[in-house]
Amino acid sequence: MPSFKAFETKTLRTLAENPVCKLIFDLRMNGGGDSQQGTFYIEILADYLNKLEKRNRPRIRMGKQTMTCPLLFFGKIHVKI
């Protein structure tokens, strides 16, 4: 199983070095997990996303199998789901 910490570090570094103007989260096949694992990551990422211009805020794709953990994350981002 991949290390979540390694994923966290890589994505935050990538965003710091290469600011994005568009970001899409595809959570259609996310069946949930341990929400505590990504709490720090979610806080940092939410701060970053909230600083984006309104027209550049993330797009969210969800499906029947999307569980509550991703929804908790998007509750921290000031966008309408």
Is 81 a member of any domain?
no
Is 80 a member of any domain?
no
For residue 39, which amino acid is it?
T
Which residue shows structure tokens 């505590």?
Answer: 36
Rg (CA), the chain: 13
Q: What is the pLDDT of residues 29-63, one digit of tens each?
A: 666 666 676 677 777 877 777 776 665 555 555 56
Residue 74 has phi, psi (to 5 degrees) of: -70, -15
- Give the integer Cα–Cα distance in Å for 23 and 4: 20
Domain count, the chain: 1
Q: What is the pLDDT of residues 3-16, one digit of tens each?
A: 778 888 888 888 88
Query: Which residue range(s) make up the domain with 25?
Result: 4-75
For residue 27, which amino acid is it?
L
Residue 60 confidence (pLDDT): 57
In the three-class reduction of DSSP (H, G, I as helix; E, B as strand; rest coil), residue 80 is classed as coil
